[in-house]
Amino acid sequence: MTLEVLQLRAPPVTDALLLGRIAEGGLGALGELYDRHAPALLTFVRRTASRPDAEDIVQATFLRVISLAAGYDTSCSSAKPWLFGIAVRITRERRRAVSRLVSFLAELGSRPPPPSRQAEGARVDVENALARLSEAKRSVFLLAEVEGFSCQEVASILGVPVGTVWTRLHHARIELRRHFEETP
Amino acid sequence: MKEQGCARRWEVEAVRDGRLDGAALTHHERHLQSCADCSRERRMFEKMQRAAVDSAPKQNELALRRLRQSLLEQAHSGDPTPRRRPWARVLAIAATMLLVFGVVWRVAERRPDPPTSPAASVQVAAVGAADWSQFSTSRGHRVVLRSGTLDVAVTRRPVDAGLVVQLPDGELEDIGTVFRVSVRDGRTEAIDVREGAVSFRRHRGAAIQIGAGERWRAEPSRAQPAPTSDLPAAMSPPRKPSAVAASAKPPNTASDDAAAGREEDEAYLRVLALVREGRAAEARLAARDYLKRFPSGFRRSEVERIAR
């Protein structure tokens, strides 16, 4: 009974609290933050960056969290948009790097032939449709429609005006709609 | 043929993007119940969203655990936080100091070069046969004249170091000058100043300032001569400790004696004239000037009273 009361009264460990501990050097808090957000982050990064890079980018994101934790705005209830923002920046940095070319060439050699629509299921169809979008439109669509961020949050994550987010989202939907209208 | 849909279909997307709220949102919801076109539009968006969510690559739990382990190991061993990297700060401080030292050294190294460059500000030409040399130091440009005659033209800014002509029996410092100097038998024989002024400092005796248009000639007796001017005396501009900045040493000849006496008289009379005119402050300055020039002057005691 007493234990239950204590558990009820214990304040929830928020992301802000975890980041405060990380800033003080608590690696346990880093593990907890990872458990909360890494799956969604990895899913998103896998669909915007090349598959071999995705895990590296997620790892780099959490490593960067250690140095950025002290500057986290504690008024934000969830660190998810903040983490996605870091991941997007790292993805862009990697794209700019020369290693991207090396990675691309390596991937090119081992890339399987594009699956035919008849042979693959609906999941691959959607992935192909998403893959045909530009990186900017794909990121906006995934963040807004899959991850559930508001357009303002997406704008903040990507560092673009919210009007740009609306425009990209609109065009992404038009392109995807064609695919869905063709598919029974 | 273009499909004609509901004119308010755009609202479906606006709602999804959070661009409609309040009364507009309520109005749209009511419209949606009666508009098949907008309802179909909304279902399409929901279908796309569901498909995108469902088609997400499935997470490999083992891969996630492996990644977690790797992350924590790297975070523990790599110490990626800046505050845990004191060497980085030390390195930054060292680099900054190196940069500052480099700039200071560069500035210090370059400072003496341009103002004292002989090619830029000093022109020296021998008149006939002359034994001379020149060199630059951190304190300025120096010309050594052992014998013969030199024409010297010095053009310099006030901040530049001056030119010094080293003579067997003293040295000559220019003050923005065009002049000619001659040396014979180990002593300075003549100085002619065409522009500006020079200060002639001999090893024995007080400094003499020679202005534009003035000449200085050595006396055969090696006594200290006074500068003379091409201009009438009344037209010559007054000079401070100039004309002859008086000798601390007693003159050797009768003519020197007389000249020194005349100067002392003039200085004393000037003090008296100022006192009589009631210009006390100027009289005090003139008296101090007299005491400075003639420390063992004949009217010393009287002038000391005025100087106080």
State pLDDT tens for residues A155-179: 999 999 999 999 999 999 999 888 8
pLDDT above 80 for A31: yes
Cβ neighbours of A108 (radius 10 Å):
8
Q: Indicate the residue of B18, B48, B56 with minimum beta-carbon distance to A43.
A: B56
| Highest-pLDDT range among A98-102, B154-158, B202-206 | B202-206
pLDDT above 50 for B135: yes
Once rounded to an integer, what is the mean pLDDT over residues B6-24?
A: 89
Cross-strand partners of B193: B179
What's this model's pTM, rounded to 2 decimal places? 0.47
The token pair at A10 is: 């214990």
- Give the pLDDT score at B202: 75
Once rounded to an integer, what is the mean pLDDT over residues B268-282?
A: 83
- Give the pLDDT score at B81: 44
Q: Do B18 and A151 touch (CB under 8 A)?
A: yes
Strands B163-167 and B140-154 come out as parallel
Which position has the higher pLDDT, A23 or A112? Answer: A23
Q: Looking at chain A, which residue has its C-alpha nearest residue B61?
A: A39
- HEC secondary structure over chain B: CCCCCCCCCHHHHHHHCCCCCHHHHHHHHHHHHHCHHHHHHHHHHHHHHHHHHHCCCCCCHHHHHHHHHHHHHHHHHHCCCHHHCHHHHHHHHHHHHHHHHHHHHHHHHHCCCCCCCHHHHEEEEEEEEEEEEEEEECCEEEEEEEEEEEEEEECCCCCCCCEEEEECCEEEEECCCEEEEEEECCEEEEEEEEECEEEEEECCCCCEEEECCEEEECCCCCCCCCCEECCCHHHCCCCCCCCCCCCCCCCCCHHHHHHHHHHHHHHHHHHHHHHHCCCHHHHHHHHHHHHHHCCCCCCHHHHHHHHC
Angle value at C-alpha A35, between A32 and A36, nearest 5 degrees: 90
List, for residues B187-222, the tens digit of each pLDDT value. Answer: 888 888 888 788 887 776 677 788 888 888 887 654
Once rounded to an integer, what is the mean pLDDT over residues A8-31?
A: 81
Residues of B in contact with A151 (CB under 8 A): 17-19
Share of residues in chain A with pLDDT > 90 (%): 26
- Give the pLDDT score at A170: 93
Confidence tier at A103 by pLDDT (50, 70, 90): low
pLDDT above 80 for A49: no
Q: Do B63 and A55 touch (CB under 8 A)?
A: yes
Calculate the alpha carbon distances from A54 to A40, A87, B54 in Å. 12, 10, 19
Give the integer Cα–Cα distance in Å for B221 and B225: 10
Which candidate, B296, B197, B301, B303, places its Cα nearest to that of B240?
B197
- Give the pLDDT score at B111: 54
Residues of A in contact with B55 (CB under 8 A): 122-127, 130
Q: Indicate the residue of A67, A125, A169 with minimum beta-carbon distance to B82.
A: A67
Confidence tier at B133 by pLDDT (50, 70, 90): confident
- Give the pLDDT score at A101: 56
Backbone angles phi, psi at B66, to 5 degrees: -65, -40
Give the integer Cα–Cα distance in Å for A84 and A91: 10
Which candidate, B152, B203, B207, places its Cα nearest to that of B174?
B152
Once rounded to an integer, what is the mean pLDDT over residues B172-179?
A: 77
- Give the pLDDT score at B78: 63
Asked whether B172 and B143 are in contact (CB, 8 A), the reply is no
Which position has the higher pLDDT, B218 or B108? Answer: B218
- Give the pLDDT score at B176: 66
pLDDT above 50 for B129: yes
Confidence tier at A117 by pLDDT (50, 70, 90): very low
Which position has the higher pLDDT, B156 or B130? Answer: B130
Give the integer Cα–Cα distance in Å for B50 and B217: 111
- Give the pLDDT score at A54: 86
Q: Please name the residue that has the structure tokens 């202005």.
A: B211
Give the HSE-up count for residue B208: Cα atoms under 13 Å, Cβ half-sphere.
25
| Highest-pLDDT range among A154-158, B139-143, B225-229 | A154-158
Q: Looking at chain B, which residue has its C-alpha nearest residue A66?
A: B81
User: Smallest CA–CA separation between A3 and chain B, in Å?
Assistant: 31
Question: Which residues 137-156 of A have a C-beta within 8 angstroms of B?
Answer: 141-142, 144-146, 150-152
Residues of A in contact with B56 (CB under 8 A): 43, 47, 146
- Give the pLDDT score at B118: 44
**What's the burial of B113, exposed, middle or buried (CB within 10 Å: 0-12/13-18/19+)?**
exposed
Cβ neighbours of A100 (radius 10 Å):
15
Which position has the higher pLDDT, B138 or B74? Answer: B74
Q: Do A126 and B52 touch (CB under 8 A)?
A: yes
- Give the pLDDT score at A55: 86
**Best A72, A123, A124 residue to mutate vs chain B (most B CBs within 10 Å):** A123
Mean pLDDT computed over every residue of chain B: 74
Asked if B248 is an interface residue toward chain A (Cβ–Cβ < 8 A), one would say no
Once rounded to an integer, what is the mean pLDDT over residues B283-304?
A: 82
User: Smallest CA–CA separation between B137 and chain A, in Å?
Assistant: 54
pLDDT above 80 for A140: yes
- Give the pLDDT score at B267: 83
Asked if B54 is an interface residue toward chain A (Cβ–Cβ < 8 A), one would say yes
Asked whether A155 and A164 are in contact (CB, 8 A), the reply is yes
- Give the pLDDT score at A78: 87
Share of residues in chain B with pLDDT > 70 (%): 72
Asked if B77 is an interface residue toward chain A (Cβ–Cβ < 8 A), one would say no
Give, as one character, the DSSP assignment of residue A147: S
Once rounded to an integer, what is the mean pLDDT over residues B98-117?
A: 66
| Highest-pLDDT range among B259-268, B276-285, B291-300 | B276-285
Asked whether A48 and A147 are in contact (CB, 8 A), the reply is no
Lowest-confidence segment of B27-31, B175-179, B219-223 by average pLDDT: B219-223
Q: Do A34 and B47 touch (CB under 8 A)?
A: no
